[in-house]
């Protein structure tokens, strides 16, 4: 089933439905059904043992209608063109729903970075950057970290681009180290945005986070930081998982301790223990009797085969595309409220936008200013989506797509089709 799943088709199905509910004709949004540009590159790397290995890389620009394209780069063995196309489109809607002046892009290399040495990873990153260099830049397309990439990888990309230009260009990427133009609060931004989204929903439902239980699938940057911030707000984090293991403790896991363990153990929680902790499967985690399910791993995790088993009443999507359209229909009949990815995890791109603005201004904002502005943008976007949810009588995902699509279509109509 997983092999047949096409994330780009999943995106199109939701897009078409949103367009229909907005009363748009096909001609109004036909240009948004296909990416503006798809680049496939060969990335040769001289390995430490002297042999040359060639990896396949991608950069897809879905839309530049509202501004420069924006989106992360992931290094993952399952990366392929359809995945990258879908992720690029989701970035278009994500930027539009929170109303920042970007379009959507995404990049990836089909590789398992765990099998590379640091020098091999650096050479891979620099060669991939050189191969996509003609289509990226502060005014064109601004990459950022994603799955298996981090601030160090962004530093290599920024340096490679700068070497070709002959001067430092910090604004070519976001998610950089602070020392070369990164932004305070960027590392925590996606997880913090997820936390804000969940609190915004509870405000609408007139509920308190105190005592509410959460299961977190994926304990990378987004899942771990989101869980920590939720725990600080009073949520009980009953379960966490990564690619190797899933852990459960009914009265709550010590998230700071688990994060410290993962930091010392190659970012894995396998082997972590504390009193009362039990090891469960990923399938069991998704079906736990908790208040909130927080998927923060990869796409297609909640699908037609397991959606009926979900017992959480709220799903807040930290990952991109974790829930398929078929699963959405099942969850809807069960009365599950889903805060969609393009709204819930937009904190990262919002603070990436702040970082880009700071780079353009050659000025650094303090962290309180960044976090306060992030909270304001997330709150405004949530309220706008909630208003459409109530007036149109549609789930939050459809409401978010309707808000985003209407903005992009209006911009496209104003600009027209060249020539």
Sheet with 69-76: strands ordered across:
37-46, 52-63, 103-110, 69-76, 141-145
- Active site residue ranges: 106
| Cα-based distances in Å from 188 to 142, 346, 348, 349 | 19, 12, 8, 12
Q: Torsion angle, CA of 305/307/308/314, rounded to 10 degrees?
A: 170
Q: Which run of H or E residues covers position 103?
A: strand 103-110
CA–CA separation, 274 vs 253, rounded Å? 8
Q: How many CA atoms lie within 13 A of 258 on its CB side?
A: 33
| Cα-based distances in Å from 396 to 57, 154, 215 | 34, 33, 21
Three-state SS sequence of 236-304: EEEEEECCCCEEECCCCCCHHHHHHHHHHCCCCCCCCCCCCCEEECHHHHHCCCCCEEEECCCCCCECC
CA–CA separation, 56 vs 131, rounded Å? 11
Q: Are strands 69-76 and 103-110 parallel, antiparallel or unpaired?
A: parallel
Q: What's the chain's length in residues? A: 419
Residues 6+ positions from 266 with CB-CB distance below 8 Å: none
CA–CA separation, 11 vs 9, rounded Å? 5
Tokens 């950069």 belong to: 59
């Amino acid at each position: 089933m997983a092999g047949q799943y096409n994330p780009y088709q999943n995106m199109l199905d939701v897009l078409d439905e949103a367009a229909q509910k907005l009363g748009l004709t096909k001609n109004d949004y036909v240009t948004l059904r296909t990416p503006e540009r798809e680049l496939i590159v060969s990335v040769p790397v001289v390995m430490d043992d002297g042999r040359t290995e060639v990896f396949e890389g991608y950069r897809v620009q879905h839309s530049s209608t509202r501004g420069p394209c924006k989106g992360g780069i992931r290094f993952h063995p399952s990366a392929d063109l359809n995945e990258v196309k879908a992720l690029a489109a989701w970035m278009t809607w994500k930027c539009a729903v929170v109303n920042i002046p970007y379009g959507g892009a995404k990049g990836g290399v089909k590789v398992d970075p765990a099998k590379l040495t640091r020098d091999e990873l650096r050479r891979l990153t620099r060669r991939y950057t050189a191969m996509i260099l003609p289509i990226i830049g502060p005014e064109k397309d601004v990459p950022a970290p994603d799955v298996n990439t981090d601030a160090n990888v962004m530093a290599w990309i920024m340096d490679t681009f700068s070497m070709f230009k002959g001067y430092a260009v910090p604004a070519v990427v976001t998610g950089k180290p602070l020392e070369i133009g990164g932004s305070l609060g960027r590392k925590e931004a996606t997880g913090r945005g997820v936390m804000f989204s969940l609190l915004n929903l509870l405000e609408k439902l007139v509920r308190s986070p105190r005592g509410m239980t959460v299961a977190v699938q994926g304990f990378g940057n987004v899942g771990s930081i989101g869980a920590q911030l939720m725990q600080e707000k009073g949520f009980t984090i009953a379960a966490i998982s990564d690619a190797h293991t899933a852990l459960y403790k009914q009265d709550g896991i010590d998230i700071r301790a688990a994060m410290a363990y993962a930091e010392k153990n190659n970012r894995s929680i396998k082997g972590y223990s504390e009193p009362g902790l039990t090891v469960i499967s990923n399938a069991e985690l998704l079906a736990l009797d908790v208040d909130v399910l927080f998927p923060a791993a990869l796409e297609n995790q909640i699908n037609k085969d397991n959606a009926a088993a979900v017992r959480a009443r709220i799903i807040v999507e930290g990952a991109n595309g974790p829930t398929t359209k078929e699963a959405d229909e099942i969850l809807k009949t069960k009365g599950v409220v889903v805060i969609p990815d393009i709204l819930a995890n937009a904190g990262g791109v919002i603070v990436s936008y702040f970082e880009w603005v700071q780079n353009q201004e050659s000025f650094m904002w303090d962290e309180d200013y960044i976090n306060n502005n992030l909270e304001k943008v997330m709150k405004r976007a949530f309220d706008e989506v909630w208003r459409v949810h109530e007036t149109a009588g549609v789930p939050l995902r459809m409401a978010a797509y309707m808000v985003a699509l209407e903005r992009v279509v209006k911009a496209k109509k104003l600009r027209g089709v060249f020539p």
